[in-house]
Structure 1
Amino acid sequence: MSLFSWLRPAAPSLPVELQQRLDRLPSPAALGECSLREQRWVVLDLETTGLNMNRDRVLSIGAVVIEDGAIDFSQQFERTLQQTALKLGPSVLIHGLGPSAIAAGSAPAEALLDLLAFIGDSPVLAFHAPFDQHMLGRALKEHLGYKLQHPFLDVADIAPLLCPQANIREAGLDDWINWFKLEVSERHHASADALATAELMLILFSRARQQQIHSPLNLQQRLSQWKRRQHSPSF
């Protein structure tokens, strides 16, 4: 046994039914060379107790699917995670999830397992994806002992990559919604924000094809090249 193994939290003990469901989940697929239209994408958004990536917790999850070049409204996901002894911060004023809604939520292990089944082997899109990826990964590890390995692409990077003329690289989701003049009826809860992000992404997929980006792998490669250029020193 490692000298430091006692520092690592023990894997959660799951009921047999949940463990069997977990064991049957498909392995995440790497981004491939199918067309952007052929790829099934899951657009994800989380509401959390705050923005501290190592202390705050996931409160709710919203997700929608883009498939065959359109949002598939028959494939939508929304869960509030039940939490106990939770001290809510100022974020409750934004997402509106109060103690009663959280107390009536789904058991976290079941909700997260439902989410993994919903995602399947698809890649994930999110606005400010590193935050959602980290927070979701922590929750999955804590409640299911599951290591998140799905590819995540950040819509907050894809937008300025494909639309440099907007000159709003550090923009939030609202800035891009306004720039494209999208009509979004609701914001600031997980399912509504996932839907808004998906609507934005449909426009960006069209821009990608115009710029000869035709596959998920190609999009990931172009995004990586763009990010390296953004961080390289300019002379």
Structure 2
Amino acid sequence: MSLFTWLRPRQINEHIRQRAAQLAPAATLSEDSLRSQRWVVLDLETSGLNTQRDQVLSIGAVVIEDGAIDFSQQFERTLYQRDHKLTSSVLIHGLGPSAIAAGCDPAEALLDLMTFIGNSPVLAFHAPFDQRMLSRALKDHLGYRLQHPFFDVAELAPLLNPQITLREAGLDDWTACFGLEAIERHNASADAMVTAELALILFSQARRQHLDSPAQLDQHLQRWRRRKQQNHGF
């Protein structure tokens, strides 16, 4: 693929663009209880870690509602990527050429995902990466601007557990800390599920710390970030 082709804006089907325009707008963060909020827990598997060039290969998502994981609301898609090249990342996510070739049309998969998310806030582990990758994919394939709030479970865990010091602070480390175990790692659906289990533990801790709404949790998280920046001299 030439540099010119890579830089040229993708042509978006008008039917796809119209469907994207009908998606529910993101809701503002609620003052209601954490338990009453519908959350979507998201995980992406990608071709690499470059948010400008790498591609979303698979999406897994699950819903937390009424204070529990709703197993009737789960989302899983593998995306067909025409220009996908096999890299060493296949050793992590296991999505080889045959799996990608059999995947869904990316635009349709992304429309389905955003319909599934609705106006709910999104949870993810290392959320900024998933947010940037998803935002770029939505812009490229749908001409859609992602505005949903994302909460990073990798931040919520140390925020709510300042007494715990982990040498590493990845998903495996926090799940092991609370006695959780993923059925399969680096599988989008399995990672979304174990992230949801971890989030439920953290929400329980948040309520005990009198942080019982998405808005309160977000405000507390922003103050925590500012303190970290000050402590590191930024």
Task: Give a deviation string over 1:81-138, Cα, whole Å, max 9, x none.
Answer: 1011311221110110000000000000000000000000000000000000000000
After superposing the two structures, state which structure 1 stretch, 164-173 or 25-34, moved more. 164-173
> 1:5-84 to 2 correspondence within 5 Å?
10=9, 12-16=11-15, 18-84=16-82
Q: Which residue pairs with 1:106 in the alignment?
A: 104
Query: Tell me, which stretches of 5 or more residues in structure 2 are unaligned?
Result: 1-6
SS in 2 for 1:166: coil
| Aligned pairs, number | 228
Contact conserved, 1:12 with 1:144, CA < 8 A, in 2?
Answer: no
Q: Unpaired runs of 5+ in structure 1? A: 1-7
Query: Shift in Å at residue 160 of structure 1?
Result: 0.2
Q: Could you state the TM-score of these two structures normalised by the residue count of structure 1?
A: 0.92
Amino acid at match of 1:32: S
Identity over aligned pairs, percent: 67
Deviation at 1:167, TM superposition (A): 1.2
Q: Give 3-state SS (helix, strand or coil) of 1:78's partner.
A: strand
- Check whether the contact 2:182–2:191 (CA below 8 A) recurs between aligned residues: no
Contact 1:43–1:124 (CA under 8 A) maintained in structure 2: yes
Counterpart CA distance in 2 for 1:76 and 1:95 is: 19
Pick one of 224, 230, 233 that aligns with 2:231: 233
Q: Residue type matched to 1:83 in 2?
A: Q
CA RMSD, Structure 1 to Structure 2 (Å): 1.7
Q: Deviations over 1:26-62 (max 9, x none)?
A: 1101111010000000000000001111111110000
**If the length of structure 2 is used for normalisation, what is the TM-score?**
0.93
Shift of 1:170: 5.4
SS at match of 2:52: coil
The residue identity in structure 1 corresponding to 2:11 is: P
Match of 2:93 among 92, 95, 103: 95
Identify if the C-alpha distance between structure 1 residues 234 and 118 changes in structure 2 by more than 3 Å, giving closer, same or farther. Answer: closer
